Amino acid sequence: MTKRIMFTGGSGKAGRHVVQYLVEQGHQVLNIDTKPLDNPKVRTLITDITDSGQVFNALSSYMGLHEFDPSLRPQPVDAVVHFAAIPRIMITPDNEVFRINAMGTYNVIEAAVKLGIRKVIIASSETTYGLVFANEPRDPKYFPLDEEYDVDPMDSYALSKVVNEKTARAFALRNGTDIYALRIGNVIEPHEYSLFPKWFADPGFRKRIAWSYIDARDLGQITLRAIEKDGLGYQVFNAANDDTSSDLPTAELLKRFYPNVPVKAELGEYETLLSNRKARDMLGFCPEHSWRKYVKTT
Ligand SMILES: NC(=O)c1ccc[n+]([C@@H]2O[C@H](COP(=O)([O-])OP(=O)(O)OC[C@H]3O[C@@H](n4cnc5c(N)ncnc54)[C@H](O)[C@@H]3O)[C@@H](O)[C@H]2O)c1
C-alpha cells in the first residue's frame, strides 16, 4: 500500500537516493529542506527545521499539488523520515552544528508526535561510537560496534546525534510512537565506488570510521523496512553493509590497526565492524550493493 512520507533533508547526499528509492517502491514523498531537490516526482517545501512553527506547518501540509485531483486537503501522514542536518563538524562552528541538529530533531519529533504521526525514522550516525571525530585516534571498548555500546563521543556533531537519540527515546516513551534511529555508516553513492582502489592502497585511511559504509540504495532499503516494521517503540539500528570497505580481511584490519581491542563476536572473513545484525534480525534488512559488485580487485 502506498505510504505518505514526509522526508526532511531529501535534497542532500544521502536523502536524494533514499527519496528516489521510496518513490520507486510506489510511495508518496514530500521533501522538507532549505534547498530544492531536482526530482520531478517529488515536491520540496522550503522549510527551516530549526523553526518549530515551520516544522509543525510543514508536517501538516499538502503533499503535492495534484492539479486535477478532487481534493487538495492534507491527507494523513504515515511516516516522517528525518535526515536534515549539518552532517559533520567543520562545516559550521561547533555550537551551530549542535543547535541545528539537536533543535531541528527536537522540532521534527515533537511536531510528528503531537500531530499524531505514528512512525518517525531519524538519521543518527556511526560517529556516536566516538572514534571518528575524537581529538586523537582512539580505541573503542570492543568490536564489533553494536547497539548495546555505551556511546561516548567528544565532538559536537556526534554529541548532537546522541542527544537526538535521547529525544527520540523520550517522545517514544511519552506517547508510544515508534521512533527508530539509524546509526548510518559512511554513505556511498553509486559513482563513489571509483574511490575504493585509492582506499585499498592506504588501508589505514578509513580506520577512524572502522571501514564502515552503506550504499545509498541500501540505505533506502533499510529506511523503508523501518517504515514498514511497526510496534518496536524506540529502537537504534546500525545501518551498514555486510562487509567492510577494505579489501583486507577483517581479522587483518584488527591486527594491524586495533590490536588491543577485544572482539566480542565471531566475525566472517570480511564482516563489517559496525554490526548490522540487529537490523538484519529485526527489520529483515538485506543489503544488495556490496562494493564487490562495482570495484575490480587485482
Ligand atoms: N553522509 C554520510 O556518510 C552520513 C553518515 C552518517 C550519518 N549521516 C546523517 O545522514 C543525514 C544526511 O546526511 P547527508 O550526507 O545527506 O548530508 P547533506 O548535508 O548532504 O544533506 C543534509 C540536508 O539537510 C538540509 N538541511 C540542513 N539544515 C537544514 C535546516 N535547518 N532546515 C532544513 N533542511 C536543512 C540540507 O539543505 C541538505 O539538503 C544527516 O542527518 C547526517 O548527519 C550521514
In a domain, 298, yes or no: no
In the numeric block, which cell numbers belong to residue 254?
A: 584488527
- For range 159-175, the mean pLDDT: 98
Residue with cell 521510496: 22
Ligand 1 centre to CA of 12 (Å) is: 6
* Ligand 1 atom 28: residue of nearest CA: 85
- Is 108 close to ligand 1, i.e. is its CB under 6 Å away? no
Q: Which is nearest to 133 in space by CA: 186, 169, 175?
A: 186
Where residue 53 sits, what CATH number does that domain have?
Answer: 3.40.50.720
Q: Which domain holds residue 47?
A: 4-293
pLDDT at 67 over 70: no
**Residue 72 pLDDT:** 79
Q: Is 100 in the pocket of ligand 1 (CB under 6 A)?
A: yes
Cα–ligand 1 centroid distance for 126 (angstroms): 14
Phi, psi (rounded to 5 degrees) for 80: -115, 130
Q: How far is it, in rounded angstroms, from Cα 39 to Cα 117? A: 25
Helices 94-114 and 52-59: angle between axes, nearest 10 degrees: 40
Q: What Rg value do the Cα atoms of the chain yield, rounded?
A: 19
Q: Is the C-alpha dihedral spanning 20, 22, 23, 25 positive or negative?
A: positive
Q: Residue 67 Cα, ligand 1 centroid: separation in angstroms?
A: 31
**Considering the domain boundaries, does residue 115 fall inside one?**
yes
Q: Indicate which atom in ligand 1 lies nearest the CA of residue 11.
A: 39
The answer to whether 183 touches 125, Cβ cutoff 8 Å, is yes
Nearest Cα neighbor of 80 from 202, 174, 216, 177 is: 177
Give the C-alpha separation, 68 to 116, whole Å.
28
For 105-127, the pLDDT digits (tens) are: 999 999 999 999 999 999 999 99
Phi, psi at residue 56, to the nearest 5°? -55, -45
Atom of ligand 1 nearest to the CA of 123: 41
Please state the atom number of ligand 1 nearest to the C-alpha of residue 124: 7
Distance 161 CA to ligand 1 centre (A): 12
How far away, in angstroms, is 143 Cα from ligand 1 center? Answer: 27
**pTM above threshold 0.95:** yes
Give 74-78 contacts, CB < 8 A, sequence gap 24+. Answer: 75/4, 76/4, 77/4, 77/5, 77/6, 77/115, 77/117, 78/3, 78/4, 78/5, 78/117, 78/118, 78/119, 78/227
Whether the predicted pLDDT of 271 surpasses 70: yes
For the CA of 14, the closest atom of ligand 1 is 16
CB of 35 within 6 A of ligand 1: the answer is yes
| Ligand 1 centroid – CA 95 distance (Å) | 17
9 lines ligand 1 (CB under 6 A): yes
Residue 109 covered by a domain: yes
Q: Is the CB of 45 under 6 A from ligand 1?
A: no
Strands 178-184, 4-8: pairing kind: unpaired
**Cell numbers for 133:** 571525530
Q: What is the mean pLDDT of the chain?
A: 97
Q: What's the number of domains the chain is made of?
A: 1
Q: Is it the case that residue 69 has pLDDT exceeding 80?
A: no
Predicted local distance difference test score (pLDDT) of residue 73: 85
Beta-strand relationship, 28-33 and 43-46 = parallel
Residues 147-156 have pLDDT tens digits of 999 999 999 9
Give the tens place of pLDDT for each residue, 46-62.
Answer: 999 999 999 999 999 98
In short, whether 12's Cβ falls inside 6 Å of ligand 1 is yes
Helix (H) or strand (E) holding 215, with range, is: strand 214-215
Closest residue to atom 21 of ligand 1, CA basis: 12
Local confidence band at 68 (pLDDT 50, 70, 90 cut-offs): low
